[in-house]
Structure 1
Amino acid sequence: MRVLGIDPGLRNMGWGVIAVDGPRLTHIANGVIRSEAGDLGARLVTLYRGLCAVIAAHAPDAAAVEQTFVNKDATGTLKLGQARGIAMLAPAEAGLAVGEYAPNAVKKAVVGVGHAQKGQIEHMVRFQLPGIVLAGPDAADALAIAICHAHHLQGRALRIKVVA
């Protein structure tokens, strides 16, 4: 199974694709879709088209997105929410189920603690996906989201086997 993780952002939308084979995780690809300052509609189109291209190129079976956190800047939060909408729309339109995870849940799944720093997340992503070349911190976060979703899917599969 291939899992696409998406770290939503209006300026930089990180993405990462991993393959899941039982407990084994393998890096497929990662990157950042960038939108330049300017008209909000044009920026959202850039993000949408870029994410659709990633989905077409890597054919994931599932996707996961980080939930938006609210900060002091209401305008920034609203814009991030719009980028997050694109991050949910593109995979849903491709027929993928989209998981959503709070930032602390992602950190806990990858690092072991819910308040880990970005450097710790990047370190653990590199540890779990040896030899990886990261396209940047947003791509590392996206891969962490994919890893979190993979663990969630594996746990759900085990619960289904036990119940059946």
Structure 2
Amino acid sequence: MRVLGVDPGLTRCGVGVVDIDARRRASLVAVTVIRTEPGLPLEQRLLAIGTELAELLDAHRPQVVALERVFAQHNLRTVMGTAQASGVVLQAAAARGLSVALHTPTEVKAAVTGHGGADKKQVTAMVQRILRLDAAPKPADAADALALAICHGWRGSPGSVSDGGARSVPEQPSTPAQEAWRAAEKAAAARRLDR
């Protein structure tokens, strides 16, 4: 499975493409950060993100897009920029007939580190290790995009939890990070039901 992960942002939008094989081994295809200048008009910034993202989607032809779920933050300007960049990603994926999977930061952290409360340094170190990279992906937006792609790739791989908690293909042994991700997913589902 080829997954394009996006850590949305208006100034820095991380994009990572990862291949996940049948044994759940992840390998790097591409990683970049789309940058826009804060002084540009909003529509020009969104156009720049959309144009670069479209080129990446067309060049790497992922099967699915994994996008960080926008959540309320104390800084309204930050959350608005993140939401606007996310909209561009959703539109670009839909224009190509690709589905988009939304993952919370907690789910992603649990998937790659085994702990939903991991810090950025831990996530970056695990992404480097999982992808067998010589150096850590920088900046953090790049590592976060790769972590999103890995999270979704592992979720959609054999033996992973699919909708309704059913298993997809015959179950294979899970990694500790995948087990932690499943626990985080169940906890998030339980919280949604409690609301």
Q: Please, what TM-score do these two structures have when normalized by structure 1?
A: 0.92
Matches within 5 A, 1:66-105: 66-105=68-107
Determine if the alignment matches structure 1 residue 147 to structure 2 residue 147: no
1:14: how far off?
0.2
Offset, 1:43: 0.3
Percent of paired sites with the same residue: 38
> How far 1:76 moved relative to its partner?
2.6
- Aligned CA RMSD, in angstroms, stands at 1.5
Q: Hey, what does 1:28 align to over in structure 2?
A: 29
Which protein has greater RCO, CA pairs closer than 8 Å, 6+ apart? Answer: 1
Which residue identity lines up with residue 128 of structure 2 in the other structure? Answer: R
CA distance in 2 between partners of 1:61 and 1:128 (Å): 20
Q: Which runs of 4+ in 1 moved over 3 A?
A: none
Larger CA deviation: 85-94 vs 55-64: 85-94
Task: Give the Cα separation in 2 of the matches to 1:32 and 1:124.
Answer: 19
Give the deviation of 1:75 after TM superposition.
Answer: 2.9
Residue pair 1:27, 1:132 contacting (<8 A) in 2 also: no
Q: Deviation at 1:74?
A: 1.9
Q: Which runs of 5+ in 1 are unaligned?
A: none
* Structure exhibiting the larger radius of gyration computed from Cα positions: 2
> Is 1:159 aligned to 2:164, yes or no?
no
Q: 2:189 maps to which residue? A: none
- Shift in CA distance, 86/119, structure 1 to aligned 2, threshold 3 Å: same
The answer to whether the 8 A contact 2:20-2:154 is kept is no
Contact 1:31–1:136 under 8 Å retained in 2? no
Distance 1:98 1:16 in 2: 14
Unaligned runs of 5+ in 2: 171-195
Contact 1:30 1:135 in 2 (8 A): no
Distance in 2 (alpha carbons) for counterparts of 1:119 and 1:26: 20
Name the CA distance, whole Å, in 2 between partners of 1:54 and 1:70. Answer: 28
Structure 2 partner of 1:137? 140
Give 3-state SS (helix, strand or coil) of 2:107's partner: helix
Q: Per residue, is there more strand in 1 or in 2?
A: 1
1:69–1:132 Cα change, 3 Å: farther
CA separation in 1, counterparts of 2:36 and 2:167?
A: 41
Please state how far the C-alpha of 1:136 moved relative to its aligned partner. 2.0
The CA deviation string for residues 132-164 of structure 1, in whole angstroms up to 9 with x for no partner, is 5524211100000000001111114781335xx
The TM-score with structure 2 as length reference comes to 0.78
Select between 21-30 and 131-140 the one with higher mean Cα deviation: 131-140
How far apart, in 2, do the equivalents of 1:3 and 1:75 lie? Answer: 29
Q: Secondary structure at the match of 2:168?
A: helix
